[in-house]
Structure 1
């Protein structure tokens, strides 16, 4: 559900460390690994400036009018280049089909404009995952795989010009003013430490004389990277929430003496207990980036509010409740021209922010990315029997009222059975969590589940942590929403 940045240090793969920067590309003859052409450098700078200082609108109506023109220009120019969308050329966005991951993979060959087949893209991406050498490209394009949190792994394609565009937008959205000044006119580079399961040429686009970008491979764990992290003294630390929480524990214990200027959470839901732990250890607010295979979808503004990146991505809300407080986003990324993302339905649940943000950003403010649709738990109403949705934040709030269950827990729904695990395995902790979840069901007048205890299993560093998961709903065809 989220991602961003990368490069050397103990995190680099042995293959990448041995590769000389001047080594010619051997896979496809398209230049040096991670090299950027002058045109791409200029494009990066242009998008940085445009995103940071130029895209300003009087009000939401003015922005909506501007965005409609951008989307129409994208549809007119790029839809005819894709065999899948060729027959839809000239039609409005609303007339195009809503697709999902299964459709994208089934029609991958027809949906991209580069003539790349799913087989060859997957072959290159899997080779990179196996060797941990993420430099090779396919016909000059970056190929990558999603983490496969929900089973099937998505595949993405990004061309050189799209990488430069992404890098410019990313730096504009993430750098505080002091680091932006250093990037543009400072004597020292901006230092970024990036932790993720896999590297990518997309991320290494950010590496330059002005940006000391170091990728830390989570397949190797976390603790092995501490010496390199201390040596680099990063200005930005970017990592999944669970990894940031581990780094915060090391910092609180005095084992990680670093003073970053910004902490950014990616790839996982940032839960309240992790957020508090990270902020206490590093003495600053945690920012978030909401990015996935389908695009760069959201970021935290300087006021600390999460915004959708609607200057580059059109979002149609598929509302989940009649009050319109939560929705699933249907995404059209009008900045991507190689792998077209048009009316792509994500599986994420977003919660609307009820009060406006004063920062002036055009993108609508959201309170949280709560998780995936299969993180929603379901119980029948005690009086009507229809299934009622308990959204992840409702469950997390119940957990926080049972602090004995923290710092870590797992909840899995299997029909009317909820399997519960707590990190310390103590009977009292399990009982406290069970009681809190019973109160949650009673508060919404729901039939309580049968609680079953299961062993606690920690998540490997390279695997996205999911504390709440619906494996199977109770058997009924009726649904409602809490």
Structure 2
């Protein structure tokens, strides 16, 4: 780690967040967008063809460039990335890492490879250069909303899977511990107490599981950081009251670090890391609090290894009023993402074990490239029904994928002492025009237990 570079990053990011005026933000973004487009046209055959005859002299010019989405990104992966990486080799690497649960390490000793299902079906592959991830500790420090008076941070990160990108956050003043979201609650509490954790990072659905145990935490947490799911205002207040600490959220996606919390606890768009365009249902720009943005386009300003320019996201957000922290970065009042249900299944001790949707998504998307879309319904606390839509609709493909997926899901669940029946059916699955209320997972409540 280059400490001097890190200090420069920290000071620069803080200056941008708290001192940039709206005019300075727009000027900075235009400059970065122009450099990104020029670099992409020079090094990416895909963008060279896509932007042929186009130029970017203003933000308005940029906003007229063609958009891309995850399907296009994956179809043109080899020509979009500027590192000469080939999709087949990278995908095989990522899937094998996942199957063997070996999440650390760099591809070709240079790149962190991310694997994500997102909200639009099959998996996406994301590239982050090693040089960028090694600067993460200071980016994290500047944009985590965590006061540096609490250093050193002893963080317990509850994740579906760990990765080299998270490992790279470790530094002399930031110690990251990791547990899977499938870890029993008593083990999580034991780790918090044993390692004297002062920062807990977890999805809201998992923090909810810890509520009855809050009184057993020996040293009060300094902060809880929620991510990956919608954090409702009422639930945030409940967490704060129960754990007696601050609760903040970060807005992170595979495509980029979209939002971070300021010193006042409000979520801001990271205007210097991503360029976010918001539009309403009529295609008109959303630039004020109140209206719901039904279309979000993301441009990652800092990752040139895999340029994502005017990339369509499925999240719906609502802007908030200007923040008292003084920052001119836009405030995110609310993120209206999907609100999938946690699954609750009997384990061999006859205890209802929560199984988190993002983990099951991972198992499904790494089973076969033929799976275009899927939906999971919990029929009882011992039975799941999984509908899949395939690219290859031949009888042989259907039979092979069905058997492979059933074996994968029952095997993964068995490793957590869960013996559940898994029914697989193949059907056409159509996504709605808006993802606001789309649920890929439908579960049962942990209360009102069904003994089937």
The reply to whether TM is greater than 0.5 is yes
Q: What CA distance in whole angstroms lies between the structure 2 residues aligned with 1:75 and 1:323?
A: 22
Pair 470,240 (structure 1): closer, same or farther in 2 beyond 3 Å: closer
Contact 1:333–1:342, Cα closer than 8 Å, also in 2: yes
SS in 2 for 1:469: coil
Shift of 1:182: 5.5
- What is aligned with 2:100? 131
- What is aligned with 1:364? 330
1:201-222 CA distance string (max 9 Å, x none): 1111111222211011124454
Counterpart of 1:204 (choices 153, 163, 167) is: 167
In the TM superposition, structure 1's runs of 4+ consecutive aligned residues that sit over 6 Å from their partners are none
1:48-197 matched pairs, under 5 angstroms: 48-53=10-15, 56-57=18-19, 59-87=21-49, 88=51, 91-92=55-56, 93-139=62-108, 140-177=110-147, 180-181=148-149, 183=151, 189-197=152-160
Q: What CA distance in whole angstroms lies between the structure 2 residues aligned with 1:273 and 1:181?
A: 28
Pair 1:336-2:295 in alignment: no
1:74-114 CA distance string (max 9 Å, x none): 22234311121123276222343211111111111111111
Pair 323,285 (structure 1): closer, same or farther in 2 beyond 3 Å: farther
Q: What CA distance in whole angstroms lies between the structure 1 residues aligned with 2:30 and 2:285?
A: 26
Q: What CA distance in whole angstroms lies between the structure 2 residues aligned with 1:302 and 1:55?
A: 11
Alignment gaps of 5+ in structure 1: 1-35, 184-188, 377-419, 425-459, 472-482
1:32-431 matched pairs, under 5 angstroms: 36=1, 38=2, 41-53=3-15, 56-57=18-19, 59-87=21-49, 88=51, 91-92=55-56, 93-139=62-108, 140-177=110-147, 180-181=148-149, 183=151, 189-251=152-214, 254-320=215-281, 324=286, 325-327=291-293, 328-353=295-320, 355-372=321-338
1:341-375 CA distance string (max 9 Å, x none): 1100100010121x221212232112111114xx6
SS in 2 for 1:215: strand
Q: What CA distance in whole angstroms lies between the structure 2 residues aligned with 1:349 and 1:54?
A: 25
Q: What CA distance in whole angstroms lies between the structure 2 residues aligned with 1:161 and 1:340?
A: 16
Pair 364,144 (structure 1): closer, same or farther in 2 beyond 3 Å: same
Pair 222,130 (structure 1): closer, same or farther in 2 beyond 3 Å: farther
Q: What CA distance in whole angstroms lies between the structure 2 residues aligned with 1:301 and 1:98?
A: 30
1:253-282 CA distance string (max 9 Å, x none): x23334121111001111244323311112
Pair 146,219 (structure 1): closer, same or farther in 2 beyond 3 Å: farther
Total equivalences in the alignment: 340
Q: What CA distance in whole angstroms lies between the structure 2 residues aligned with 1:222 and 1:119?
A: 39
SS in 1 for 2:156: strand
Contact 1:242–1:274, Cα closer than 8 Å, also in 2: no
Pair 147,341 (structure 1): closer, same or farther in 2 beyond 3 Å: same
Q: What CA distance in whole angstroms lies between the structure 2 residues aligned with 1:175 and 1:371?
A: 22
Contact 2:81–2:305, Cα closer than 8 Å, also in 1: yes
TM normalised by structure 2 equals: 0.68
Shift of 1:249: 2.8
TM normalised by structure 1 equals: 0.64
SS in 1 for 2:277: strand
SS in 1 for 2:134: helix
Alignment gaps of 5+ in structure 2: 57-61, 341-376, 382-412, 417-434, 441-452
SS in 1 for 2:138: helix
